[in-house]
Structure 1
Amino acid sequence: MKVLHVITGLGIGGAEQQLRLLLPHMDRVRSSVVTLTNPGPVADALRADGVPVAHLGMRGNRDLSALPRLTRLIRRGAFDVVHTHLYRACLYGRVAARLAGVRTVVATEHSLGAAQIEGRPLSAGARALYLAGERLGTTTVAVSDTVARRLVAWGVSPSRVRVVPNGVDVPRFAFDPDARRAARRRLGLAPDAYVVGGVGRLAPGKRFGTLIRAVAALPGEPRLLLVGEGEQRERLERTARECGAADRVVWAGAVDRELPELLSAMDVFVSTSADEAFGLAIVEALAAGLPVRYVACPALDDLPPGEVPGARRIGGSVPEVTAALESVPRERFAVPAAVRRYDIAHSARRLMSLYDRLHHSAPHPVPHPTPHDDLYDGASCR
């Protein structure tokens, strides 16, 4: 079976990294990827993994010339399934797949929060456009039960929604004392320093300003290790200076391979985001054995109570986060069995089963034209 994944961009982000993590485990399908924009570090990593990646060269949200180019690419590639990821790719990808005659069109909803989608506030127009595009697909995959409920509340038919949770490579995040020492030396963190950690895009929805203020209010001058990059970097640096904590915040930037090492360097993980679709960074922190304090995490909220004793939901104000951090034990936890439910290999198997079921029940299979593999030479498809 040939599957084309269409994604808005391939910079470092949750959906992008999730796609890269999934593909090596999908050994029963031949996967290719096309990115509408920004063939960034994840595109390079996918190519290094042997996955063909094409860049469509889309110039903006209203670049309608991308639609016929994407349609031709799908038709020539003779794909059995088109799988779209992120809002813009879902809109263009579903239309192009239908125009190309593909009968099985799957979309994963990675980033639908209670009041935002992909970090942007929801609007009536965005919702109407989303629902119009959704009807062109076959199935919408929700990354959590919470997202599935949000989709149905929006107006998506429950019969069109399937839940395939995000996955984590659990062994990759196992705590490593040698990695902890090496990371702390590299970052200038003392071996005995108390290190609070946060991971995510430096964007308003992650509310890292709250975390900076909370850590600044703690006694004993603990350090804050922030892993991620984004448009709020300068504003957050200014917040740290205003709080008198500029010398206590370590900015690690956007990372990929180094993340397990950085989690090993932390003593507690905090997520101050109040609106999440899954909470992947939280699950990764639990896989590293860290105590976790979080404001919102569907991945944990969808589990039976008490299954993750190292994690605790907290309030989202600065005083509440500060109070929560004052009572965190300085110890690693065993990886909860519940975290292993989110093993990436399990998620990949569920997706492959979904492809099989949908493809074999498609009403009118489309004859496959001759593939044009030259579309995947890494160049822009113009």
Structure 2
Amino acid sequence: MKVLHVNAGLENGGGLTHIVNLLKEAKNEGKDFELLTLAEGPVATAARKAGITTHVLGAGSRYDLAALKRLRTFINDGHYQIVHTHGARANLFLSLIHTKIKAAWCITVHSDPYLDFEGRGLMGKIFTKLNLRALHKADCIFAVTKHFADLLEQKAKIDPAKVHVIYNGIFFHDDSEIPAKYDDQVYFNIVNVARTEKVKGQELLLKAIKKLDDSHVRLHIAGDGSQLENLKALTRQLELSPQVTFHGFMTQKQLRNLYRRMNLAVLTSYSESFPLVLLEASDNQLPILSTAIGDIKMMIPDQEHGFIAKIGDVDSIAAEIKRAVNMDPAALKAVALREKKYVAANFSVEKQLASIQKVYDKLAKH
């Protein structure tokens, strides 16, 4: 089966990891999967580095409709049986040519389509409508959480028969492959790996650290974005500068090294899908704490496996962090090891690909 995955190409976060991991696993299994990005960028670069067959369409912008003919020709001449898009821009391009291609069309919904363009005024409303229209036209949709599937079926009124819940996965490492931890007896180190955008809720995390009033707690924020300077200003306002380090964007190699010094990974988002960053932290033997976003209880089933705080609730976030800080180190490590064993058994990229392949096979028979 010949499959083409399509993405705008400018993603530099969980979406990039999702696409590259999936295609890398397909390559490992000898499947004929390829990637096409609409423009040169981080996705194509990461895919090439992973040895994935990668093409770039060369679309100049979201409005480069001249690229549609090239896209249609590329798909039909390539004899692909499945085209699988990721992201609103790729969805839009396929929606405009889907009746002129021979391949079946799938979409992965990585985030809430009603929030993707929030705060962008009239153009944001137009892009939201265009993306929802594309979702209706696709032959199948993969939702990365049940919450998103329910949203698509109940609010967007998409045929439930087209919607499939398939959770994200990552490549897990044997514990022997994980670098030894540094034993910091002085500080309790917390890491937050996320874009510095409002939806990620880092201002809640800073306020929770202030509420803890514990000088031995140190917070490390790894990520950049539109709110970075505002968060730095809030840190100064809260008089937390000695306790908070902003690392900016970090590569996977840099993150793995940072994880060696951390005691807890925290995500305080208002909205998420199924966060890969928490799976990656767990793979590195870190206990994880998240707000109750999406299907997080599938990832953290109970208090024996991690920590869950209320969304948007500083007091709840502070209380969960305090619970982790006050836990006996051996008990906290046991939480991390239980969680890794659980997520590795349930959310590997191998399982993710197998579930997607089953849907592909059904589509190819029609």
For normalisation by structure 2, the TM-score amounts to 0.85
Q: Give 1:120 deviation, angstroms.
A: 6.0
Q: Which residues of 2 match residues 1-382 of structure 1 at below 5 A? A: 1-26=1-26, 27-40=29-42, 42-99=43-100, 101-112=101-112, 116-117=115-116, 125-153=126-154, 154-171=156-173, 176=178, 178=180, 180-181=181-182, 192-217=186-211, 218-254=213-249, 255-302=251-298, 305-306=301-302, 309-328=305-324, 329=327, 330=329, 331-332=332-333, 333=335, 334-336=337-339, 337-339=341-343, 340-361=345-366
Gaps of 5+ in 1: 185-189, 362-382
Q: 1:200–1:227: 8 Å Cα contact kept in structure 2?
A: yes
Q: Structure 2 stretches of 5 or more lacking a match?
A: none
- The Cα RMSD (Å) is 2.7
Q: Return the letter of the residue paired with 1:160.
A: K
Aligned length: 350
**Could you tell me whether the CA contact under 8 Å between 2:293 and 2:311 is conserved in 1?**
no
Provide Cα deviations, 1:181-225, integer angstroms capped at 9, x if missing partner.
Answer: 3xx9xxxxx663211111111111101122123223431242111
How far is 1:124 from its partner?
5.8
Q: Tell me the SS of whatever aligns to 2:173.
A: helix
> CA, structure 1 residues 259+162, in 2 after alignment: closer, same or farther (shift >3 Å)?
same
Higher relative contact order (CA 8 A, sep 6+): 1
Separation in 2 of the partners of 1:228 and 1:201? Answer: 5
Task: Look up the SS of the partner of 2:205 in the other structure.
Answer: helix
* Amino acid in the other structure paired with 1:6: V
Counterpart amino acid of 1:256? Q
Greater Cα offset, 227-236 or 102-111: 227-236
Q: 3-state DSSP class of the match of 1:151?
A: helix
1:32 and 1:10, CA in 2 relative to 1: closer, same or farther beyond 3 A?
farther
SS in 1 for 2:97: helix
- The answer to which of 57-66 and 121-130 deviates more is 121-130
Summarize deviations over 1:303-345 as a string: whole Å, max 9, x none.
7953853232335233332232222124222233441211111
Check whether the contact 2:186–2:216 (CA below 8 A) recurs between aligned residues. Answer: no
Bigger Cα displacement from structure 2, 199-208 vs 245-254: 245-254
121-130 or 213-222, which deviates more? 121-130
| CA pair 117-52 structure 1, distance change in 2 beyond 3 A | same
Q: Deviations over 1:266-311 (max 9, x none)?
A: 2122211021122222233333333332213334334795385323
